[in-house]
Amino acid sequence: MGYQSLPSLSSIINMLAINPLLIFSTKHGSFLFMLTLLASPESNLKKGLTLSMAFSQKINCRMHSSSLSFILLFSCLAALYSLSGCASAISSATSNMMNHLSRTILNNDDLSLVETGAPAYLLMIDSLIAQDPENELMLSTAADLYAAYADVFVKDKTRSRKMTQKALTYASNAMCLARNDACSLKKTSYKEFETVVSSMTKQDVPVLFSLGNAWAGWILANKNDLNAIADMARIEYIMQKIVELDKTYKDGAAFVYLGTMATLLPPALGGRPETGKHHFETALEISGGKNLMIKVMYAKFYARMIFDQALHDQLLNDVLKTDPQIPGYTLINTYAVQQAKELLKSSTDYF
C-alpha cells in the first residue's frame, strides 16, 4: 500500500512556486475553487471554476490560461490526496475523476468558459499521465480532449500542430498498450497496417476510434504536408473497420468521418458525394438527431459541394430550431449552432 504513483506534495508546491505572483494574484479564486472541488470533485467542477474566474475578475486580475492551469492542477491533485487507499485504488479514482471532468466539459454550453478553463484540465492530464504512463483509459481520454480542443478553439497553426501531435502520441501509446502488434501503425507499411487493423475485434473499438480521431486532427493541422495527406487512406480504413465492428459506437461517429472524407474533394478529383451523403444520412439515423454537428458537416461538405442551397439551408435551419442542451452533446451542439449561423450568413454569396 502506498502513494508511489502520485507526485509528492512538495513537488507540486515547487511547481507552483515558479511564479509566486501567480498564486498571490489569483489566490481568492483558487482558494474558492479548491474548496468546492474538494467538497465534491464531480458535481462542483463548473461551480468552482466559475467562482474562481468571477473572483479573479472582481480583484481586477485577468487570468491567463496558464494561471488557471496551475490553479486547477493544484486543486485536482489536492483532491486526489484527500482520497484514502492503495496506489491502485487511487489510479482507478483518478481515471473516474477524469471521466467525470470530461462529462462536465461536454455538457457545458459556455464555449468561452470551456476555452479558458480546458487548458487547465489538459495540463492536469499531462501531469497524471506522467505518473501513470501505462493507463490506457487516461491516454485515450487525453487524446480525445487534446484533439477536440485543437479542432474547436485553436486557430494558431503552430499551436494546432503541437496539440494534435500530442493527441496522436497519446492515442498511439494507448493503442500500443491495448495491442502490442499495433505500436507502429503510423510508421509501418500500408499492407502491415491493414493486416493489424483488420485483425482487431469489438473490444478494440474505443482505443481504435481515439487513434483515428487524433490522427485525423493531426492530418488537418498538417494539411500542407503531402506525407500527412497520404495518411488519409489509413484513417478511412480505421473508420471502416469501426463501422464493421460496431457501427453504433459513439452514435455512429465513424460515419461522420467517412462522409467528410468522401466529400472533401470534388468528383473530378476523386470525391464521392453520393457515398458521403449516404454516410451522413446513416450517422443522422444512428444518432437520432442528438449530434447537431452532423447536419452542419452534411451542409458544409455535401450540400455545398453539389451546390444544393435548399438542402444546405434546410439542414442549418434545423440545427437552429433544435435545443442544443442534450446530455453528452451540449458543448458540440452549442458549437454547431454557432457554425450553422455563420454558414447561413454566407449562404447567398456562396450559392
User: Does residue 265 belong to any structural domain of this protein?
Assistant: yes
Q: What is the pTM of this model?
A: 0.73
Query: 339 lies in which domain range?
Result: 247-351
Of 58, 75, 96, at which residue does a domain stop? 96
CATH of the domain at 310: 1.25.40.920
Q: Is residue 316 part of a domain?
A: yes
pLDDT in tens, the chain (351 residues): 444 444 444 443 344 443 333 333 333 333 333 333 333 344 444 444 444 444 344 333 333 433 333 333 333 433 333 333 444 444 566 666 666 766 777 788 999 998 998 898 889 889 989 999 999 988 998 999 899 899 889 999 999 999 999 999 999 999 999 999 999 999 999 999 999 999 999 999 999 999 999 999 999 899 889 889 899 999 999 999 999 999 999 999 999 999 999 998 889 988 999 999 999 999 999 999 999 999 999 999 999 999 999 999 999 999 999 999 998 899 899 999 999 999 999 999 999
| Whole-angstrom distance, CA of residue 244 vs CA of residue 239 | 9
Distance, CA of 96 to CA of 101 (rounded, Å): 9
Tell me, yes or no, whether 197 lies in a domain. no
The count of structural domains within the chain is: 2
